[in-house]
């Protein structure tokens, strides 16, 4: 079974500063996908960034980047130049093809507050 662990239930960061959210996972699979989802107060689930395990290069999307360490099974999210709109729950998630399904396994989430 796959597990995803987010060890930081809550974090805060000053506006314009940089923050890193941690995520570790456990799997015996070799080919899989990792994601960070954002859930603002509206409750909508929004994909922030994704990483394919076979790619060594870390994914980047504007102010969001990841540090993917496959051997350590670590997948952290760095948010640069934090903005008030980044205030949200952030979920790390894992997917692999088990019997042709790519269902997501989520961590418990990190509540991020951006302070003006």
Partner 1 sequence: DSGVTQTPKHLITATGQRVTLRCSPRSGDLSVYWYQQSLDQGLQFLIQYYNGEERAKGNILERFSAQQFPDLHSELNLSSLELGDSALYFCASNPAGFSYNEQFFGPGTRLTVL
Any residues with CB less than 8 A from the CB of 32 and at least 6 apart, and which? 53, 94, 95, 96
Select the span of 13-21, 59-67, 80-88, 103-111 touching partner 1 (CB under 8 A). Answer: 103-111
Contact between residue 116 and residue 12 where contact means Cβ atoms under 8 Å apart: no
Using the minimum distance from each CB to partner 1, give the nearer residue, 71 or 99: 99
Q: Could you give the string, one character per residue 46-85, with x where binding to partner 1 holds by CB under 8 A and - elsewhere? A: xx--x-----------------------------------
Chain residues that interact with partner 1, rule: CB under 8 A: 33, 42-47, 50, 91, 95, 97-109
């Amino acid at each position: 079974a796959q597990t995803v662990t987010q060890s930081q239930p809550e974090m805060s960061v000053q506006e314009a500063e940089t923050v890193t959210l941690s995520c570790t996972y456990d799997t015996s699979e070799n080919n899989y996908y990792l994601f960070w989802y954002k859930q603002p107060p509206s409750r909508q689930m929004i994909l922030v960034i994704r990483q394919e395990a076979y790619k060594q290069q870390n994914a980047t999307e504007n102010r969001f980047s990841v540090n993917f360490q496959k051997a350590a099974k670590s997948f952290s999210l760095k948010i640069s130049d934090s903005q008030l709109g980044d205030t949200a729950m952030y979920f790390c998630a894992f997917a692999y093809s088990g019997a042709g399904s790519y269902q997501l396994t989520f961590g418990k989430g990190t509540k991020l507050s951006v302070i003006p």
